[in-house]
Structure 1
Amino acid sequence: MTDATQDKIAAFKDWLVQRGGYIHPDIFFKPVSSGFSVVSHTDIPADVKAVSCPFSLAITPEVARRALTTILGADESSPTLDGWSERQLIISYLCMHHILDGLTAPKELAHGPYVDILPPSNKLRTSLHFTPQESELFRGTNLYGATLDRQKAWEAEWEMCRDRIAVTNSHIADRFTWEQYLTASTHLSSRAFPSTLLSDNPSLVSTPTSYPVLLPGVDSLNHARGQPVSWVVGPPIGSHSEPSIALVLHTPTSQGCELFNNYGPKPNAELILGYGFSLPNNPDDTIVLKIGGATRANAKWQVGRDARGAEPVWEAVKEAVRAQNRHDVEDAERDTYSVEDELWATEVLAEMAEDLFGRLPPDSSVAVNGDETAFIRPEVAEMLDHYIEGQRDILHSLMEFAKAKEQSAIERAREEGIEILDEDVS
């Protein structure tokens, strides 16, 4: 660890504690390829508070709006910040710490020590930070399209903010770059908590009225699936009058081991898109399916491993098939499915899963085999392999699901005395 890095960490800890925060005395920040991990100096028992952040240090849209209003010389009647989302406010606030670095900044720009320890863009590995060659390896997957959609949306946000800023301060607008906005957007996507956490009964469940917030220090721990943790609102510390939100870990940590938070059940697609890492054999993996001819326009379904969530897909496929099979008024009024409907639906569902399976890209070892110019960073190769494994497993389970439905339809046909000339219809 360089002296400069040590100085930044020390400055952040002092800043957090002096303002009512807490960091367990037996943990330290260890540099890793993605930034920092939080590691124990000694054995730490279970049910210990690892870190806390006072409510007043949370980066909220309100905090960001006040600072931006001052920086841009706007006032309550100025249209500069009109229509900005909570995301745009917080992201732009983070960017201003870099844009005004070394300049006289207003007191409202109050999170410099925190921003200084956030990983720079060259350490970020979400799918928006892949090289073009790495991105191409994911073509044919949900993640590839989701990445393009997110980049388009974020670029539109950035352009709106930059154009509005340019009206009041062209110098700041010139320094308000896409790379800065993307970096700060990634910090928010990978570290944000719902505002529901800042309540007397903290919750990680988002609501229609909640919004993202950043909690310095509390967001430092990496993710471990199923890690038992609690969020506790604590009383004021020392001379500080506001409460704080604390992260309590319910498992012991041995000396030299990393301490982990739990971000909740997330599929690898979400982890790669928003956080920049993946989990092997992630049981929460899903694939997003669209059914042509479904009664709901633009309807999408998520199916997980072991065909979890496949029943609604099956119902949508049957409805689409029945709609195509209607020949007269009697058919149109029929609210049940015929054996023919179900047999055809099993064929449609199986073919859809097989087609998607065939369009999946190969794993990383096959993707670069024989191409001396191909290069994929090891951490991206790992994410590709974890993600593709999950997609293949889900689609295979969906094929098995279709086979089971086919057998059920054949049994029903036999019970109704309907002759099946070719039972291998899938």
Structure 2
Amino acid sequence: MVEQLVKAKGLLKWLQSNGGYFHPSAKLQIDDTTGLSIFAAKPIGPNERLVSCPFDLAVTPETATRAICQVAGLEEENLVWPMGTLGKGEPWNERMRIGAYLGLHWVYQDQTTVEWPSALIHKTYLNSLPDPSTTLMPLYYNPCELELLTGSNLYGAVKDRQKEWFEESAVLRTVLKEDGLTWERYLATSTYMSSRAFPSRLLRLSMEEQSTHQLHKENEVSHPVLLPGVDIFNHARGQPIIWLCSVMAPSPASHPLPCISLVSSSVSDVNTQVFNNYGVKPNEELLLGYGFVLDNNPDDVVVLRLGADGLSPAISKRLEAKNLNIGERFELRRDGEIDRRLLEVMRVMLGEEEEEMDENDEHAMHKKEEKEMKLELDVLETLGGMLEDKLGKLEAGGKLSVDGQVRDQVKKMVSIYRKGQIDILNSAMDTLSERIERVESLIGEGMGECSCCCP
């Protein structure tokens, strides 16, 4: 911990010597619960800049690409998946570009007799970051700890992510011809991006435009960027914070630089921790990407996906006509409400093609209503079966006896995550039971008699 504190102080010194800023009343400190943290040595008022990072120090896919090409003597068009890989010809994604850029720092640190490339400017920043293997993120779980996730969405998600990142790391080594870009190093840089990256749209705020973390449009194209110094603050749910883009000079004699800043929006009293905000995130995302969970997280969800195997062309066409996507992520929340679009998709999948009908034909309209009610019952019962199956797997997974070395913190976090999933599924099933009872009651009552007096 002492070494981490020394490296963090070195980072802030590097940040300030390169045009950045750090509040003089904000002090680095090791906290028993949150580790490396920022505390207020003196009261910090609202609307005070906490930290500023010059745009030039941000690690973006664009700056990473330029540096890789300069160091490796390549053109950007060479940064593609090679022949013989599943993604052959596809450009590298943002994670691969930033991962390669950061990884090259380690490669050249190993080569002490080789001149340091001028394009690699984040050595101090990279060396200040904690060893990700000490985190509690599932990609660093040992096999016994990973088994604790059996029956949950995360169990498969961890394996899928590991496979995806492993393939990406192999591509970097092949294209850049650098054996030093190991899987372990790529896992580390990808972990840093998962847990520390900010959306690039923050760098596109107009100068002097203030923004909360929630202002941006959800459909705005963005990619991950690393902001040295800014990412040193721990995150807290619901913490008010302001983002500000401005041109600032670190000293009267310095040249002004465009910077991205964190600005306080409330008072931080002496000896209280100063936080950034990570926004609304469920425990599944927090555990996979950050390595922690929140007990009774109000933002928790259960993610559902419907299988598309064997889907007929006719059903696919009807879904498309209604602007519905079977591959969509559907979310169940703590309030027990059922995702409306999930029900709409299932009605199309389980129902028949709608026929044109004369609205004046009372008998036909009555039959149509009966048919719709029976379809609704079928949809609700089918969904109930799906949720019951998912609940059973979660409960069974929680009863598994795992032999081997399991950290107490991991066991506790997985238990909190699993309990949240079970609670949400139980709430959703209660809602389904009530709706099924209402529909069955309507069907049992015959929905009224057909006014055409048919038998």
The TM tier, using the shorter chain, reads 0.7 to 0.9
**How do 1:123-272 residues align onto structure 2 when only pairs under 5 Å count?**
123-166=134-177, 173-199=178-204, 200=206, 201=209, 205=217, 207=219, 209-237=221-249, 238=251, 239-272=254-287
Counterparts of 2:395 and 2:105 in 1: how far apart (Å)?
Answer: 41
Structure 1 residues 227 and 361 mapped into 2: Cα distance closer, same or farther (>3 Å)?
same
Counterparts of 2:259 and 2:368 in 1: how far apart (Å)?
Answer: 60
Per-residue deviation at 1:359?
A: 0.6
Structure 1 residues 349 and 379 mapped into 2: Cα distance closer, same or farther (>3 Å)?
same
Superposed CA deviations along residues 378-411 of structure 1, whole A, max 9, x for unmatched, are: 2212321221121111101111111121132134
Matched position secondary structure for 1:174:
coil
Superposed CA deviations along residues 351-382 of structure 1, whole A, max 9, x for unmatched, are: 22221111104687x655xx6x4432122123
Structure 1 residues 90 and 308 mapped into 2: Cα distance closer, same or farther (>3 Å)?
farther
Greater shift after overlay, 26-35 or 104-113?
26-35
Structure 1 residues 303 and 216 mapped into 2: Cα distance closer, same or farther (>3 Å)?
same
Greater shift after overlay, 44-53 or 30-39?
30-39
Aligned residue type for 1:120: D
What residue is the counterpart of 2:375 in the other structure? 341
Q: Is the counterpart of residue 390 in structure 1 residue 416 in structure 2? A: no
Aligned residue type for 2:28: F
Per-residue deviation at 1:290?
A: 2.8
Structure 1 residues 324 and 135 mapped into 2: Cα distance closer, same or farther (>3 Å)?
farther
Structure 1 residues 320 and 66 mapped into 2: Cα distance closer, same or farther (>3 Å)?
closer
**How do 1:267-416 residues align onto structure 2 when only pairs under 5 Å count?**
267-291=282-306, 295=319, 296-323=325-352, 337-361=371-395, 373-413=403-443, 414=445, 416=447
Structure 1 residues 236 and 300 mapped into 2: Cα distance closer, same or farther (>3 Å)?
closer
Taking structure 2 as the reference length, what is the TM-score of the superposition?
Answer: 0.80
Superposed CA deviations along residues 45-70 of structure 1, whole A, max 9, x for unmatched, are: 33332111111111111221222122
Aligned residue type for 1:31: I
Structure 1 residues 291 and 184 mapped into 2: Cα distance closer, same or farther (>3 Å)?
closer
Aligned residue type for 1:317: M
What residue is the counterpart of 1:66 in the other structure? 66
Counterparts of 1:236 and 1:39 in 2: how far apart (Å)?
Answer: 24
Superposed CA deviations along residues 235-260 of structure 1, whole A, max 9, x for unmatched, are: 22231332211112223223322211
- Give the percent of matched residue pairs that are identical in Structure 1 and Structure 2: 36
Matched position secondary structure for 1:56:
helix
Give the superposed CA RMSD.
3.0
Greater shift after overlay, 252-261 or 211-220?
252-261
Aligned residue type for 2:91: G
- 8 Å CA contact 1:22–1:53 kept in 2: the answer is yes
Aligned residue type for 1:45: G
Counterparts of 1:127 and 1:20 in 2: how far apart (Å)?
Answer: 37
Structure 1 residues 308 and 187 mapped into 2: Cα distance closer, same or farther (>3 Å)?
farther
Counterparts of 1:99 and 1:305 in 2: how far apart (Å)?
Answer: 47
What residue is the counterpart of 1:97 in the other structure? 105
Counterparts of 2:197 and 2:224 in 1: how far apart (Å)?
Answer: 6
What residue is the counterpart of 2:121 in the other structure? 110
- 8 Å CA contact 2:370–2:447 kept in 1: the answer is no
Greater shift after overlay, 206-215 or 55-64?
206-215
Matched position secondary structure for 1:248:
strand
Q: Any runs of at least 4 consecutive aligned residues in structure 1 with deviations exceeding 6 A, and if so which?
A: 333-336
- Any gaps of 5 or more consecutive residues in structure 1? 167-172, 419-426
- Aligned residues, how many? 403
Structure 1 residues 401 and 11 mapped into 2: Cα distance closer, same or farther (>3 Å)?
same
Counterparts of 1:235 and 1:210 in 2: how far apart (Å)?
Answer: 22
Superposed CA deviations along residues 327-372 of structure 1, whole A, max 9, x for unmatched, are: xxx99x96985332222333222222221111104687x655xx6x
Matched position secondary structure for 2:192:
helix
Greater shift after overlay, 336-345 or 51-60?
336-345
Taking structure 1 as the reference length, what is the TM-score of the superposition?
Answer: 0.85
- 8 Å CA contact 1:194–1:206 kept in 2: the answer is no
Structure 1 residues 106 and 385 mapped into 2: Cα distance closer, same or farther (>3 Å)?
same
Structure 1 residues 50 and 361 mapped into 2: Cα distance closer, same or farther (>3 Å)?
farther
Aligned residue type for 1:46: P
What residue is the counterpart of 2:132 in the other structure? 121
Counterparts of 2:247 and 2:152 in 1: how far apart (Å)?
Answer: 47
Per-residue deviation at 1:324?
A: 11
Matched position secondary structure for 1:264:
coil
Superposed CA deviations along residues 127-149 of structure 1, whole A, max 9, x for unmatched, are: 11111111111111111111111
Aligned residue type for 2:43: D
Counterparts of 2:343 and 2:77 in 1: how far apart (Å)?
Answer: 54
Superposed CA deviations along residues 270-319 of structure 1, whole A, max 9, x for unmatched, are: 11111111111111111122345685443441222112452222333333
Per-residue deviation at 1:96?
A: 1.6
